[in-house]
Amino acid sequence: MFIVLTALVTLAFGWVLSPLFSAVFWAVAFVIVLDPMSRNLSQFLGHRRNLAASIMIVGFMLLIILPTLLVLTAVIKEATNLIASVQSGEIDVNRLFEAMLNGLPDWSKAVLQRLDLGDLTAVQRSIAESATRWFGTNAPKVLSLGQNTASVFVGLGVMLYLMFFLFRDGDAILKLIKSAIPVETELLEDLLHTFTLVVRATIRGDILVALLQGSLAGLGFAVLGIHAAILWTVLTSFLSLLPVFGAAAVWGPMAIYFLANGMIWQGIALMIYGVMVVSLVDNIARPWLVGQATRMPDYVVLISTIGGIATFGLEGFITGPVVAAMFIAVWTTYLAKSAT
């Protein structure tokens, strides 16, 4: 009965914390990634963990939180203006798609004919209506991001508060967790080591590569004078977390739009820049940041990211691969122990 009571109380506590899932998740994730830095700082300060944790939180706020809030503010502003332009008719989605479809070469139109998509007007109208409907449906969500300031700062406050105690008391908390899990010590140590290694490498590598690809793409967008460049830069960073498609899902359609509207050199320049610079970064930087030993297969990253988005929403870009990393860590440790 006491075991049942313990399980019920634990589930109830998890239910109470469920509204703060985002804050707790990001706090734990960031502490896992930054733990080596925190340990080195604590050792440098003579193991004064309170001071080390405080410095880590202040540095995190200045280097991560503040720039993120500034970028988010700019993105919300540009997204709001873009949605307002579409809804007011200043940006005619139908006309944009018509120009793109009419600018297609003859061979591509022949392919569309064979695919029963020969009625370009109907296809253009259907795509344009879907895009307009999407903007109309998501406009309130985008606008609400700028209005929920209080909830955003409450979440940030909880995350930073929890991060401080995890930095300071992480070893003691981990010791308690280990003592509560009925698994032999050696197996548990291997499991936690593998999980921490995979999660740290995944988050560090994916986020840094995404930021790098987004920044490079944003530079190209700004040079070419693309409207709402910050919005498309952030979108590129998010989509860069997806293998296979990645950043090309943003710069590719833009290059096609340039070519279809007679802006030949802009389209060719963007395609060359996207292939030779933006997309090439993934192949160069990711193995160096993540390492081949801890990198998940691309197909696992793809399906876990899509599944994570469907389950958790926007946070699925990270939570999906992290859950996949945990899955791999558990089964890797289990198979290794079963073989011995």
Mean pLDDT of 139-144: 51
Give me the residue spans of the domains in the chain: 21-91+129-180, 182-340
Res 167: pLDDT: 92
DSSP letter, residue 62:
I
Q: What is the pLDDT of residues 11-50, one digit of tens each?
A: 999 899 888 888 888 888 889 888 889 999 999 998 888 9
Q: Is the pLDDT of residue 307 over 70?
A: yes
DSSP letter, residue 277:
I
187 contacts 333 by C-beta, under 8 angstroms: yes
CA distance 10 to 20: 16
* Closest CA relative to residue 265, chosen from 294, 225, 299, 232: 225
Q: Using CB atoms within 10 A of its CB, is residue 122 exposed (0-12), middle (13-18) or buried (19+)?
A: exposed
Structure tokens that stand for 305 in this block: 């990211």
CA distance 143 to 50: 39
Q: Is the pLDDT of residue 6 over 80?
A: yes
Res 62: pLDDT: 92
Q: Which residue has the higher pLDDT, 216 or 196?
A: 216
81 contacts 87 by C-beta, under 8 angstroms: no
Res 53: pLDDT: 92
Percent of the chain scoring above 70 in pLDDT: 74
pLDDT band at 165 (very low <50, low <70, confident <90, very high): very high
Res 155: pLDDT: 84
3-state secondary structure of 139: helix
Q: What is the pLDDT of residues 213-249, one digit of tens each?
A: 888 888 888 888 887 778 888 888 888 777 666 788 8
Q: Using CB atoms within 10 A of its CB, is residue 333 exposed (0-12), middle (13-18) or buried (19+)?
A: buried
Mean pLDDT of 322-326: 78
76 contacts 234 by C-beta, under 8 angstroms: no
* Closest CA relative to residue 39, chosen from 156, 131, 159, 174: 174
Res 170: pLDDT: 87
pLDDT band at 314 (very low <50, low <70, confident <90, very high): low
* Cβ-proximal residues to 67 (8 Å cutoff; 6+ apart), any chain: none
Q: What is the pLDDT of residues 54-86, one digit of tens each?
A: 999 999 999 888 888 888 788 777 777 776 766
Q: Is the pLDDT of residue 185 over 70?
A: yes
* Closest CA relative to residue 29, chosen from 334, 294, 327, 315: 315
Res 306: pLDDT: 79
CA distance 168 to 173: 10
CA angle 293, 296, 299 (to 5 degrees): 145
Q: Which residue has the higher pLDDT, 257 or 12?
A: 12
Mean pLDDT of 162-181: 88
Q: Is the pLDDT of residue 309 over 70?
A: yes
Phi, psi of 183 (to 5 degrees): -130, 145
Mean pLDDT of 275-280: 82
Res 57: pLDDT: 94
What pTM was estimated for this model as a whole?
Answer: 0.70
Q: Is the pLDDT of residue 150 over 90?
A: no
pLDDT band at 96 (very low <50, low <70, confident <90, very high): low
Hey, which of 3-12, 16-25, 180-189 has the most confident mean pLDDT? 3-12
Which amino acid belongs to residue 233?
T
